[in-house]
Amino acid sequence: KAGVTQTPRYLIKTRGQQVTLSCSPISGHRSVSWYQQTPGQGLQFLFEYFSETQRNKGNFPGRFSGRQFSNSRSEMNVSTLELGDSALYLCASSFSQGTGFADTQYFGPGTRLTVL
């Protein structure tokens, strides 16, 4: 079974631009979560999508948005980029039966975003 894939792997943008990152989950997985990983802040939860609906949301400004398609692929968009948005953005997928207990998540390799 193919793992979680994220594209692109590296991205360089300038302040004020917008960016779209893509995540393809493991086949059969319906939940996709997005995280921001920075050296100072560690892993921070952005949002989770399940069956094309945002199910959970972290404490990020509205500039960060996402969506999920009917094939469970997900995109994350960041508008009006700031220098502080430079980070590794990770996507994780899980089967997620919604039991309320963390399902096993499978992480992708991440997209390294650098904002200049």
Q: Which residues bind another protein (CB under 8 A)?
A: 33, 35, 37, 42-45, 48, 56, 58, 88, 90, 92, 100-102, 104-107, 109-110, 112
How far from the centroid of its chain's Cα atoms is residue 19's Cα?
A: 12
Least distance in angstroms from the C-beta of 105 to another protein: 7
- Minimum distance from residue 66 beta carbon to another protein (Å): 14
Compare residues 37 and 79 and give the one whose CB is closer to another protein. 37
Compute the least distance from the CB of residue 3 to another protein, in Å: 11
What is the spatial distance between Cα 3 and Cα 108, in angstroms, rounded to a whole number? Answer: 7
Q: Quote the tokens at residue 68.
A: 């999920």
Query: Between 38 and 80, whose beta carbon lies closer to another protein?
Result: 38
User: Of the candidates 6, 8, 5, which has an alpha carbon nearest to the alpha carbon of residue 114?
Assistant: 8
In the complex, least distance from residue 98 CB atom to another protein, rounded to whole angstroms? 11
Q: Which is nearer to another protein, 56 or 80 (CB)?
A: 56
Show the tokens assigned to 111: 């997209």
Helix or strand or coil: residue 55?
strand
What tokens were used for 52?
Answer: 């094309």
Phi, psi of 62 (to 5 degrees): -65, -10
Of the pair 24, 33, the CB lying nearest another protein is at 33
